[in-house]
Chain A
Amino acid sequence: MSRSIARYAGLGLMLALFVLLVAACATPPPPPPTPATSAPQPPAATSAPAGGATKPIVIGFTASQTGNLNVESKKQTQGLQLWLDDVKKAGGIKLSDGTVVMPEIKFYDDESKTDRVQALYTKLINEDKVDFLISPYSSGLTKAAAVVSEQNDKVMLTTGAADDKTMEQGFKGTYQLYTPASRYLAGAIDLLKKLEPNAKKIAIVNEKDSFSTTVANEAKAYATAQGFEVVLAEGYDTGTTDFAPFINKIAAANPDAIMGGGHFQDGTTFAKQLYEKKVPVKMIALLVAPADAKFTEIGAGAEGVIAPSQWETPVTYSPESAKAANLPWYGPTVSAFVDGYKAKYNEAPSYHAAGGYAAGLLLQKALEDANSTDAAKVKAALDTLNLLTFYGQIKFSTDAKTHGKQAGHTMVYIQWQKGADGKLAKQIVFPLEAKTADAQARQ
């Protein structure tokens, strides 16, 4: 009896699978709404509307809803969705001829893998007829997506992708919002020079993955150019949990500062073990991990650790600082963005979220400047942009080789410092004009 049930269940399952298969193969499948798309599918190309008409546009991208990048990617998407809400609340993007551009977003899950990125971007462009693109999260996925977006002459704003090499291949419609990886630790080296004029030796120990290695190589070159001696340059494998061999080498090299790290897990463990072994250095600057609030879970080990960040909530960019820098200001103030984000998601925005919002904001500004939704005109507008927003300065390189690479935005450097109440608090210590506290050398 149970055997026959199993048989029928098996047969039924096979049938169901084939039905699914047929449904999936039917070409092209009607694009189902993603959780973000509640509006009806906009027409592919609306004719130029008369004054006052509403023109819908679709912004497409893939997000890593699953896989190892899903936390960062999700925040990026949340930032973008907040921008969309704000635009809708304001009644769309108004062009000078009275046309109101009403954006919608459409995205698919890329599973944090390159496998499907090109297929999904091709689908977004050809089937869903999106007007503008935003990059996936991370440089590897962005590179694969750019091959597709460039050949279709689309405008793609990249956020969450800091790699330099990606942006040095003569792209025409790809624009980077993040400060490139090569400049991640440059500020920390500048800060070390100011903080400890006698410091001479730096040890660089980084995770051996694409992003961290790029940062470390560039930091090494920059440190040498600034007159420092890089006494140790080592990489550790992704997933390393025991840093004792590296710490012993660091101790033997006797550096003034330690720089490097990689991502959250390894960076946190590294900082903790450095503290436990009481390595006597003036400065520890690590990538990614210290920028996250969870970093303080390691307790006293977090104190004094410095990290570069694309953006932090206490940044002091404002219409006034724009005036002082002789730049136009655009978009919401820092506090308006932070409050809006907190109200919608019940948490403080990370730099990934700010990057997502900024991607939408920059596109909005370019549409207004171009006074059109035409890709060529929007590109021309993006090329000439140089402004200050809550996210910082934005200016794209217009050099043929590095076209679209971020040339204006700078990192901020945070340090965990003990406040008067004895609790660790995140302070911006560099650049000096954005600081919320003075940098402290480690004791």
Chain B
Amino acid sequence: MNSSQPFAASARLAWRETLIPYVRLIAHPFLGLVLGVILVVALFPIVTNSPTLREEIFLVLMAVILASSVNIIMGYTGYVSFGNIVFFGLGGYVAFFMMLTFHVHLAVAVLAGGIFAALFATLLGIPVLRLRGAYFALATIGINEAVRAFVNNFDPFGGSVGMNFDYSFYDAYGGAKNALWLAYYAIVLVALATVAASFIIKQSKFGLGLMGIREDQDAAQVLGIQPARYKVIAYAISALFPAMAGAVFFFKNGIIEPGPAFSLTASIEGLVAVMLGGFGTVAGPIVGAVVYDRLRSFLLTSGAFSELHVAVAGVLLLLIVLFVPAGLVGELRRRVPWLRKYTE
């Protein structure tokens, strides 16, 4: 009894020691600034009651979620996950299935989709994260293709036909109009959570461990970091948020099919956004995603470029990779040292 009490006390202390830095991080001005900016932008369509703006910002936020998530495993940990979109699709499928079959609310389905994908990533990560470099990148592509092939043949998920909601499905949410607004609020919340998680990980001891693994896994291990555990946790987190975004996106679309759910192109676009903005930083993927998405949208709807938008985007990205390899935020940090404090 006597001996267990000090142990309990020290355990409590250890917990507090672990938690307090995270609590402090939440109050960090940089995080407040980034979340504040996202919130203000997100409020625009609500204040102006503009569905067009809402749809545009929905896509931007979705790009931010995908890029920031892949940055956790790629930018912080150094594991290039080419097929990270697999979690977007899986989360979408699990959530869609639950909403269609069990009529659960969107919020429940989003959480369920996220948790399922995180668990899937945990189980998958244990063997796959043993691979390094190009082998891991190739494996993630393989996983995406394998899951797509599985879903294509999995009848409860509708097989190759996929699943779709009846239009009347949205009546439970007060009609399609309200449902689309609800989807927007949901994506805003997921985006805020993603960015907060990205920042907290970067600033925490855990994040330092991940970066240690990125620089030299063997050296990190010598210093007492458990690479296997760290990597699996990072992988699970990078799966959680895309899955939630997928759940919201397909709810809004009313239809889910294997092709759009596990699109490798979308996966690579996420990587491009990370490279464009600056990998390994918190702000980089956000800036990259915003720039990339806005650029694409601008080129798509502009008269002069509408036929050439893919080519124009391709040339710009090539130039970026050639001349600004650290990405926009990385370059800014390199050139303007005093800005480093404000651009994590």
Contacts and interface: CB of A to CB of B under 8 A. Distances in A.
Contacts of B176: 147-148, 150-151
A118 B176 CA distance: 12
A9 B321 CA distance: 12
A171 interface: yes
Contact of B58 (A65, A119, A123): A119
Nearest to A119: B55
Contacts of A171: 167
A166 B164 CA distance: 8
A103 B241 CA distance: 45
A168 B166 CA distance: 8
A360 B322 CA distance: 48
A32 interface: yes
A91 interface: no
A245 to B, nearest CB: 16
Interface in B266-293: 266, 290-291
A144 B55 CA distance: 13
B233 interface: no
Interface string B248-280: 000011110101100100100000000000000
B101 interface: no
Interface stretch (A77-85, A107-115, A330-338): A107-115
Interface stretch (B32-40, B46-54, B73-81): B46-54
A178 B303 CA distance: 30
Contacts of B216: none
Contact of B301 (A114, A123, A147, A166): A123
Contacts, number: 161
Contacts of A25: 294
A17 B316 contact: yes
A433 interface: no
Name the prevailing secondary structure of the A interface residues. helix
A237 B331 contact: no
Contact of B298 (A20, A125, A165): A20
B300 interface: yes
Nearest to B252: A118
B295 interface: yes
Contacts of B159: 208, 213
A408 interface: no
B255 to A, nearest CB: 4
B301 to A, nearest CB: 5
Given A28-B52, A119-B55, A126-B52, A13 B319 contact: yes
Contact of A122 (B55, B167, B254, B319): B55
Contacts of B58: 119
Contacts of A151: 175-177, 180
Contacts of A144: 253-255
Interface in A1-50: 6-7, 9-10, 13-14, 17-18, 20-21, 23-25, 27-29, 31-35
B226 interface: no
B323 A13 contact: yes
Given A9-B323, A23-B298, A210 B167 contact: no
Given A23-B298, A28-B53, A147-B167, 11 more contacts: A31-B301, A109-B306, A109-B307, A114-B255, A123-B56, A144-B254, A147-B176, A150-B176, A169-B165, A210-B257, A213-B161
Interface of B: 44, 50-56, 58-59, 149, 152-153, 159-162, 164-168, 170, 175-177, 180, 252-255, 257, 259-260, 263, 266, 290-291, 294-295, 297-298, 300-304, 306-307, 309-310, 316, 319-320, 322-324, 328, 331
